[in-house]
Amino acid sequence: MTSSVAIRSLRAFCYRYPLQTPVETSFGRMLDRPAVFIRIEDEDGHVGWGEAWSNFPSVGAEHRTRIVNEIVAPAVTGFVAKTPRDLFDHLAAKYAVLALQTGEHGPFAQCIAGIDIAMWDLAAQRQAQPLWRLLGGDAPRIKVYASGINPTGAAQTAEAALRAGHRALKLKIGFGAERDLTNLTALRALAGDGLLAADANQGWSLEQALAFAPELDRFALAWLEEPLRVDQPWPAWLELKTRIRTPLAGGENLASETAFADAFAAGALDVIQPDIAKWGGFSQCVSVGRAARAAGKTFCPHYLGGGIGLLASAHLLAAVGGDGLLEVDFNPNPLRDALCGPVSDVRDGHITLTDAPGLGFTPDLAAFEAYRTA
């Protein structure tokens, strides 16, 4: 920002869109698609938008909305920021003890991340620059892949994704060897020589991973995502890495600079996947992405949520650059599709951001009032 910014208001809005087909993971099912959108306005009338991760638990979206509106917003009103990161640092320090006291590190980190996204959107609009360029990017065109492909109807979903312009796919696994291998076989046939990845969502113990993961090598996967729990020590990840040819991916559940530094030092991950709406926002995730590239890793931001966070993830990848891909959930979700701007226009496995200021998109939430819950 070229001058200090005084915050006039901060507000979160919560929505839920019911699903006909649940989203399945190794640890649970999503019966609807929640979203927590965050609006910040400065004293000059500029408005920025962000999104806080809110997929789990099933009551989590409303809880995060109340954290923003009842705890954070009163403390933010009148705050003066010299840089967009000033607000992130202020909130992280202010609520560190409360997060410890309540054991709610995740919800506070997610709310602060969503606020940070909104603050950077506002800052880029004040400077009349697209956010990807303000953050140092030099090209608005990025690669994408279709994600969230469930074990039920996996081939049909993959076919639809390919028809929609995708050229890369990621399958959810961890549902038993027979089912996983059947789906991987079908998707490899559909993808041909194209990129295919798999996500186990922390579903295996080290013993289970060592028993099954070698079976995946024949599918020439671009990566195996979170085969182990994120709290498994890095030597366990390294042991798995030495036993398979498939690169390992992770990062969506790492939530501090120290955690990412430890991951880089361990060397177990080949693909780095921070989630901008889950921890760090732009203020932290841009530096993680640049560190990943400097370390020779592939930077692929993780994302599964509403449209504002997806659009922010696209700006993050365009700002960092490299040969990574943007995760685009392919499950039905109008809270994503109608609110992600150019990310909805996938052509030959790519999307192209615009030169419009900030995120380049102003959401019309009035159309979703029927789905608002808080």
Helices within 203-280 (DSSP H only):
206-212, 234-243, 257-266
Give the tokens for residue 339. 């609110």
CATH class for the region spanning 5-128: alpha beta
Residue 152: pLDDT over 90: yes
Residue 30: pLDDT band (50, 70, 90) is confident
- Mean pLDDT, residues 27-55 taken together: 94
The mean predicted confidence, pLDDT, of the chain is: 96
Residue pair 302/275 in contact by the 8 Å Cβ criterion: yes
- Mean pLDDT, residues 35-59 taken together: 96
CATH of domain 133-352: 3.20.20.120
pLDDT for 2 equals 59
Residue 28: pLDDT over 90: no
Residue 1: pLDDT band (50, 70, 90) is low
- Angle (CA) 105 307 11, round 5°: 55
Beta-ladder partners of 204:
228
Give the tokens for residue 128. 């009349």
Instruction: Give every CB contact of residue 263 below 8 A, 6+ residues apart in sequence.
Output: 234, 250, 251, 254, 269, 272
Residue 131: pLDDT band (50, 70, 90) is very high
Q: At what angle do helices 154-163 and 177-191 cross, to 10 degrees?
A: 20
Q: At what angle do helices 105-126 and 84-94 cross, to 10 degrees?
A: 160
pLDDT for 21 equals 82
- Mean pLDDT, residues 82-86 taken together: 96
Residue 316: pLDDT band (50, 70, 90) is very high
- Angle (CA) 87 90 92, round 5°: 105
pLDDT for 198 equals 98
CB atoms within 10 A of CB 225: 28
Residue 10: pLDDT over 80: yes
Give the tokens for residue 7. 């915050």
Residue 57: pLDDT over 80: yes
3-state secondary structure of 187: helix
Instruction: Give every CB contact of residue 57 below 8 A, 6+ residues apart in sequence.
Output: none
pLDDT for 158 equals 98
Q: How far apart are CA 356 and CA 353, in angstroms?
A: 9
Integer-rounded Cα Rg, in Å, for the chain is 20
pLDDT for 143 equals 98
Residue 99's H or E segment, with its range, is helix 96-102
The 3-state secondary structure of 261-312, one letter per residue: HHHHHHCCCCEECCECCCCCHHHHHHHHHHHHHHCCCEECCECCCCHHHHHH
Q: Give the domain ranges of the chain.
A: 5-128, 133-352
Residue 52: pLDDT over 90: yes
Instruction: Give every CB contact of residue 143 below 8 A, 6+ residues apart in sequence.
Output: 168, 323, 324, 325, 326, 349, 350
pLDDT for 261 equals 97
User: How buried is residue 281: exposed, middle or buried, by Cβ count under 10 Å (0-12/13-18/19+)?
Assistant: buried
Residue 279: pLDDT over 70: yes
pLDDT for 174 equals 95
Residue 107: pLDDT band (50, 70, 90) is very high
pLDDT for 53 equals 98
- Mean pLDDT, residues 325-350 taken together: 97
- Mean pLDDT, residues 80-105 taken together: 97
Q: How far apart are CA 322 and CA 283, in angstroms?
A: 19
- Whether the bond into 22 is cis, omega within 30 of 0: no
Instruction: Give every CB contact of residue 281 below 8 A, 6+ residues apart in sequence.
Output: 50, 88, 112, 113, 114, 115, 116, 117, 119, 120
pLDDT for 253 equals 98
* Least-confidence region, from 22-31, 77-86, 299-308: 22-31
pLDDT for 22 equals 82
